Amino acid sequence: MADGAKVHSSTDETIGGLLARNASQYGSDIALREKERGIWKETTWAEYADEITACAAGLEALGVGPGKAVLILGDNRARLYAGILATSLLRAYPMPAYPGATLGELQHFLGEVEIVAAIAEDQEQVDKILEVRGAGARGIGHIIYDETRGLGDYEDAGLMSWDDLIAKGKQDLEKNPNRREELLSRGKADDPAIFMHSSGTTGAPKGIVLSQKNVLAAARNGFAAGAFDKQEEVLAYLPMAWVGDYAITVAAALSLRFTVSVPERQETVVRDMREIAPTFYLAAPRSWDQMLTTIQVGMENSTRLKKKLYHFFMDRAIASETRKLNGKSGGMLEPLGRLLGEAIIFGPIKDQFGMSRLKNAFTGGEAIGEDTFVFYRALGIKLRQFYGQTENSAINALQSPSEVRLHTVGTPVPGVEVKIADDGEILVKSDSVFSGYFNKPEASAEALQDGWLHSGDAGYLEENGQLVVLGRVSEVMYTGSGERYVPNYIENRLKFSPYIKDAAVVGAGLDELTAMVCVDFEAVGHWAEVNGVPYVSYADLSQREEVSELLREAFERVNKVVTEPLQLKRFVSLPKEFDPDDGEITRTRKLRRKVVEERYGDVIASLYNGSKEVHVSALVTYETGETGKVDRVLPVREV
């Protein structure tokens, strides 16, 4: 933590109050950078506050106010973030949706609350909103768009550019000299900060309104735990509809005056990260895996000398980190090896991938593979795990740099109490916990009992206070012989393999556990090219005998860490990935188990009836929205 760093701990803090503080006391500091046509454009806190208040004034003129919502639709854009904060100033609900949200998902949101306006990134998202309106949905009378390209000839009612909205707001502010201050001071701690949604693994997503008190408490708690320092440099690339993005790039950024850099587009994130070199970085395990694969591929394609140096230093650093994780110390010459390795190998790799200034690096959402975790720590990046949920503003527990264990998520952060219920469920109490699901009193009463949030996760606290998360309580299952298991726990360990993107473990009420897996097309495809294995499509590659050996190795590794009754016996490699558009996983890649088990019922039957193969006709949704089928005969493989 930075020397002398303190955060005002008042529970009366508001978004408007912090914005006013940043604009008046730190007005010339950079709040945002956004890359446009190859150039980084900077916005100071004073300029950011001016744009947000003008946006708020403009939105209020369109009818946005308490009890109303503004839909935010698109990839990360500076103006969309400003729209979120402006809506909060009006005590209304900013409601971000995933860029790939379907017509049905948007219609569901419209059924929850009156959405007066939408702020859309570009023509594609505007068309989607117009389609929702054309389907007879009520609401979204006004659509504000950021990127103007392709929208010049649109004549639909209520359509306006961001610049027109800001101009409208500025006119209003100029008429009343006190209007800006009134907008910044209007909000209260219990007013909405963000309207998000649960993952919807067991049904329609539930609305989750986090108050300004909730999100700012989470920022204070994370700061107190050493998750981030003041004035971090962060890259805003995570989905805006995910609570992790809001917690870092909005709440913590506002509270601790981060500089938030918005990439030009999703395809340029790696390049933009290299230019920015953030000091804080949060990514899902899959992203860390993909970066590791890129590093390894780059080294294998380099000169013989570079490869020799890479393996010389990296192999020793990995061995050293493995010893540390096992509680052992290294030799006297290790610091010298680290110093040389940093100069020759580690430093240049980190610089190439924009990680040269990383002070705080995190992974969350699911367990991360040991090989990946140890690699980054060997590289000199103190990668840590954290645990949280949308319902508690993202931050429950996290690892400290010196207390890292692969099987734990760290200790509860200051300001968060954790206890374990009699049935093993993790219970949480904090100012960061929401007040209930939107318009769902029964679900709220079930989730919030006696002042504690029932997380729905199973776990336990070790004697040293470290929290271990096993999986969802609702997913605790029993084999036919009564053996208790959590399928998600085993699935995550299968996904430690870089060659497995998704997995579904089955076996509830049956004598044995088996699994269906989806290969990672990029990682397996690269392996196939290097090893001369021909293929023409995902469906073809996934069924290759050579690939089945890669998958079998992953199953064998998992079987070594589970008890004999829970060892996996057979598997099928599916001919397509699980896809949120097909309803098989959520937008955050959580398995919709019931859907998968119904859709692949014939595959599951073949895993238990002695079949050597099974015919599958799998539903596929293409980028155009059209659907098709993938027909394939799949071998049933023994572990």
Checking if the pLDDT of 72 tops 60, the result is yes
Checking if the pLDDT of 5 tops 50, the result is no
CA 573 to chain centroid: 26
3-state secondary structure of 382: coil
- Tokens 């895993």 belong to 607
Beta partners for residue 44, in sequence order = 30
- Residue 324 vs residues 201, 320, 345, 406: alpha-carbon distances, Å: 37, 6, 21, 11
Q: How confident is the model at residue 301 (pLDDT cuts 50, 70, 90)?
A: confident
Checking if the pLDDT of 595 tops 80, the result is yes
Checking if the pLDDT of 12 tops 60, the result is yes
Checking if the pLDDT of 332 tops 70, the result is no
Checking if the pLDDT of 352 tops 60, the result is yes
Checking if the pLDDT of 4 tops 80, the result is no
Beta partners for residue 362, in sequence order = 282, 384
Checking if the pLDDT of 312 tops 50, the result is yes
Q: Which of the 8 DSSP states describes residue 302?
A: S
Q: How far apart are CA 580 and CA 201, in angstroms?
A: 11
Q: How confident is the model at residue 10 (pLDDT cuts 50, 70, 90)?
A: low
- Tokens 């098709």 belong to 628
- Tokens 């959580």 belong to 590
DSSP 180-212: HHHHHH---TTSEEEEEE---SSSSPPEEEEEH
How much of the chain exceeds pLDDT 70, in percent? 96
The answer to whether 512 touches 559, Cβ cutoff 8 Å, is no
Q: How confident is the model at residue 484 (pLDDT cuts 50, 70, 90)?
A: confident
Q: What is the mean pLDDT of the chain?
A: 91
Beta partners for residue 449, in sequence order = 452
Q: What residue spans of 4-44 are helical by DSSP H?
A: 15-25
- Tokens 């209003």 belong to 172
- Residue 72 vs residues 96, 266, 407, 575: alpha-carbon distances, Å: 4, 17, 37, 35
Mark 275-294 as b/e (b = at least 16 C-beta within 10 Å): ebbbbbbbbbbbbbbbbbbe
- Residue 267 vs residues 36, 111, 169, 271, 294: alpha-carbon distances, Å: 13, 33, 33, 9, 15
Closest by alpha carbon to 192, among 50, 15, 22? Answer: 15
Q: How confident is the model at residue 365 (pLDDT cuts 50, 70, 90)?
A: confident
Closest by alpha carbon to 14, among 182, 186, 173? Answer: 186
| Mean pLDDT score, 335-343 | 88
Checking if the pLDDT of 103 tops 90, the result is no
pLDDT at position 625 is 66
HSE-up (13 A, CA, CB side) for residue 583: 15
pLDDT at position 203 is 67
Model confidence, pTM: 0.85
pLDDT at position 9 is 47
- Tokens 């949704």 belong to 621
Closest by alpha carbon to 493, among 639, 362, 370? Answer: 370
Checking if the pLDDT of 290 tops 90, the result is no
pLDDT at position 403 is 79
Checking if the pLDDT of 565 tops 50, the result is yes
Closest by alpha carbon to 559, among 457, 454, 638? Answer: 638
The answer to whether 5 touches 257, Cβ cutoff 8 Å, is no
Residues 6+ apart with CB under 8 A from 497: 369, 550, 551, 553, 554, 557
| Mean pLDDT score, 309-329 | 87
- Tokens 């380099």 belong to 302
- Residue 600 vs residues 496, 605, 616: alpha-carbon distances, Å: 23, 9, 8
Closest by alpha carbon to 562, among 510, 486, 503? Answer: 486
**Domains parsed from the chain with CATH numbers:** 15-279 (3.40.50.12780), 285-473 (3.40.50.12780), 476-638 (3.30.300.30)
Q: How confident is the model at residue 76 (pLDDT cuts 50, 70, 90)?
A: very high
- Tokens 């938030």 belong to 260
Long-range contacts of 468-477 (CB under 8 A, 24+ apart): 468/407, 468/408, 468/409, 469/387, 469/409, 469/426, 470/424, 473/423, 473/424, 473/425, 474/202, 475/593, 476/424, 477/507, 477/508
For the record, the structure tokens of 629 come out as 């089928």
DSSP 482-542: --EE-HHHHHHHHTTSTTEEEEEEE-TTSSSEEEEEEE-HHHHHHHHHHTT---SSHHHHH
Q: How confident is the model at residue 125 (pLDDT cuts 50, 70, 90)?
A: very high
Closest by alpha carbon to 189, among 395, 432, 389? Answer: 432
Closest by alpha carbon to 197, among 80, 111, 86? Answer: 111
pLDDT at position 3 is 34
Beta partners for residue 222, in sequence order = none
Closest by alpha carbon to 548, among 567, 579, 527? Answer: 527
3-state secondary structure of 402: coil
| Mean pLDDT score, 96-111 | 91
Q: How confident is the model at residue 1 (pLDDT cuts 50, 70, 90)?
A: very low
Amino acid at residue number 444: S
- Residue 551 vs residues 62, 452, 498, 502, 559: alpha-carbon distances, Å: 56, 41, 10, 12, 13
Length of the chain: 639
